Amino acid sequence: YQRRVRGGDAFKMVNGVQRPFMKRVEDIGFWSDAFEVLSVISIIVNCSLIGIRGQVGRWFPEATVGQQILVVIFMEHVFLSIKYIIARAIPDVPAWVELERAKEQYKREQALKGFADLMRTTKLKGQIHKKVEGIRHRLDQKDVEDDLQP
């Protein structure tokens, strides 16, 4: 039984394929640009397919080939404009995420302020403690000296 478990997927999942430590990042980085390029290419390809398949000729039977190409280019520009408007209308980071980030930042600042106050207080306590210990040491030495005198 142990041999099956050790050689099994569960053992590998727990011991061999562990996730690396999380690293906080601002956004998805390169992938955002990649998806942007992919969406533009998809609009261009789909409009080209509409033009190649003859859809425009069925929509506008009296149009010449040049006019059909212009219609395809016009459609492409319309769709790219709509994509651009939608991309600008929808924020990259939702409002609730911004709010949570602001809350976390405030908590961090308050914790650092509290830590700085604690360090200041601790440093002051440490200085007072050193002075008290110094006085105790001097008093102890004086008591020893008094004990040594006849």
Residue 2 has pLDDT above 50, yes or no: no
Cα distances from 126 to residues 43, 122, 123, 140, in angstroms, run 69, 6, 5, 20
Q: What is the pTM of this model?
A: 0.55
Residue 103 scores a pLDDT above 90: yes
Residue pair 51/88 in contact by the 8 Å Cβ criterion: no
Q: What percent of the chain has pLDDT over 70?
A: 71
Minimum mean pLDDT among 20-34, 37-51, 56-70, 73-87: which range?
Answer: 20-34
Contact 50, 56 (CB under 8 A): yes
Residue type, 30: F
Containing 4, the helix (H) or strand (E) segment is: helix 2-7
CA distance 147 to 150: 8
pLDDT computed for residue 134 by the predictor: 73
